[in-house]
Structure 1
Amino acid sequence: MNDLNNPNRRPEGADRGAFYYGLLGSAALLGIAGLRWLWKQDAQRQIQVMTTQTTERLSRQEQEVMKLKEEKWCMWQELLSAQEEGKKFHKGAVAALTTIEAELVHRQGIYCSFTAQRDHRQPIEEKLLSKVDTDPYLAKLVSKEDLREIFKDGYCERPWNTVDKKNGKLMWIFLKEWEHKITQQKHNKIEEVLKQFKPNDSHINN
């Protein structure tokens, strides 16, 4: 009986070789397809990881940029405020120092005068010492010890001198020192602001 149409029939001879060859070919195709699928899945996973990392990095950089902008704006406002305070202090301190200079010159003129009584210096000296405690500008520039040293200065220009500003030596030295303090304190206000906003290395590394 011819059983060629029997599905359970095992291939024999050449038919068997073709059958196994077909199985091997199918297995190879399935293996390649499987590898392609795995490669595709791995590639998609790597792309997703890289996309996530890039998004996170860009987000951090954007946050750092915003932070730097805010710090820059704050620093600018602080600098403007410090500049205004410096101008205000400079104006007030110069005015106070001008008054002190006039009173010191007047006091030294009395000391060097042949006609004025030297006791008239005492009210002026007491007034000057009191100003150091009451004037907010002089309190940052002048000390009572400085004034007492000036009061000891007995230098007078020639007896016939009529220009009071030529009398005394110490007061002119101290006045120059106080003027320097005014300029220095004006700059110090701006330097204090700049120290608060030092560059952060983390901004550069990111």
Structure 2
Amino acid sequence: MLGLAAFRWIWTRESQREIQEVKAQYKIDISTIKSEMEIKYRETLTDRRRAAATLELELEKERQRVKGYKQAMVSQSHQLMKERKQLHEEREALEEEKQRLVKSGAAGAVLHHALEREDNRSQRANATLEELEYQLLERQNAYCSLIQPRDQRLEMEKNMLIKVVKDPVLAELDLESDLKDVFKRDTHCADLLNMDKRKNGSLMWVYLKYWQLQVTVQKHKRAEGAILGGKIQSHTK
């Protein structure tokens, strides 16, 4: 009995010692794991903060770029509106001059003939501008499309530039630089569900109105030139 009791005492003592060792090792392991996790957490947090700072910097750069673009668009639009107003004033002045000449008798016949000739010319110009408007609609639709290849849009732009240079009617309007400006700056697209192509584009519509007004002003200027030329010829005979 004494031997059994001694064995139990020794076994219990050894068991407690082993348990204490296991507990101590467990605490060490937990402390090590906790320390490693804290280090990884700090490293991850640092990386996240660094990435966030980089993204914020890129976002600010993009914001400034967009701001600059908007300012350029506003400035360009103001300039175009100013030129449009000037052309409108010139048109009104020419219209007043036309009415004065019509009332002057003999000059009225000259004016009528000149305007009739220029009407045909301006009609051809407006018809050509309508074709160009359709092409711009298709180009802007291609720009806004998520599936249409970029090469197709570039081919459209190339063909339009060739047309405005080689077409004698459009060549007088000097549209090449205006078109390049549209291709470079007009990035306006309606929402993704939009089915109306005319809702795309912004700067292109300003230019189209400007070109149409140019055609009208040139028509009256040429008519006026024809009348003045007729007067000079009649005076020199």
- Calculate the TM-score normalised by the size of structure 1: 0.56
**Which blocks of at least 5 consecutive residues in structure 2 are unaligned?**
1-103, 233-237
1:133 Cα deviation from its structure 2 partner: 1.9
User: What is the SS of the residue equivalent to 1:158?
Assistant: coil
Who is 2:212 aligned against?
A: 179
Contact 1:142 1:178 in 2 (8 A): no
Q: Distance in 2 between matches of 1:136 and 1:85?
A: 17
Q: Distance in 2 between matches of 1:196 and 1:90?
A: 20
Q: Distance in 2 between matches of 1:128 and 1:166?
A: 21
Which 4+ stretches in 1 moved above 6 angstroms? none
Partner residue of 2:151 out of 119, 132, 152: 119
Alignment of 1:148 onto 2:159: no
Alignment-mate amino acid for residue 208 of structure 2: L
Who is 1:163 aligned against?
A: 196
1:75 Cα deviation from its structure 2 partner: 4.4
Q: Deviations over 1:143-162 (max 9, x none)?
A: 21101111111111112111
Q: Distance in 2 between matches of 1:115 and 1:125?
A: 18
Who is 2:53 aligned against?
A: none
Q: Distance in 1 between matches of 2:174 and 2:224?
A: 22
Q: Deviations over 1:98-129 (max 9, x none)?
A: 00000000000011012211221111111111
Q: Distance in 1 between matches of 2:231 and 2:162?
A: 41
1:78 Cα deviation from its structure 2 partner: 3.7
Contact 2:110 2:230 in 1 (8 A): no
1:74 Cα deviation from its structure 2 partner: 7.6
1:138 Cα deviation from its structure 2 partner: 0.7
Larger Rg: 1
Who is 1:190 aligned against?
A: 223
Q: Distance in 2 between matches of 1:192 and 1:142?
A: 20
Who is 2:117 aligned against?
A: 85
User: What is the SS of the residue equivalent to 1:137?
Assistant: helix
1:83 Cα deviation from its structure 2 partner: 1.6
Q: Deviations over 1:137-188 (max 9, x none)?
A: 1112242110111111111111211111111111100000001011111111
User: Greater helix percent: which structure?
Assistant: 2
Alignment-mate amino acid for residue 164 of structure 1: K
Q: Distance in 2 between matches of 1:170 and 1:129?
A: 17
Alignment of 1:135 onto 2:167: yes
Alignment length (residue pairs): 128
1:80 Cα deviation from its structure 2 partner: 3.8
User: What is the SS of the residue equivalent to 2:114?
Assistant: helix
Alignment-mate amino acid for residue 157 of structure 2: E
1:92 Cα deviation from its structure 2 partner: 0.3
**Percent identity between the two aligned chains:** 37
Q: Distance in 1 between matches of 2:216 and 2:138?
A: 26
User: What is the SS of the residue equivalent to 2:168?
Assistant: coil
Q: Distance in 2 between matches of 1:99 and 1:138?
A: 11
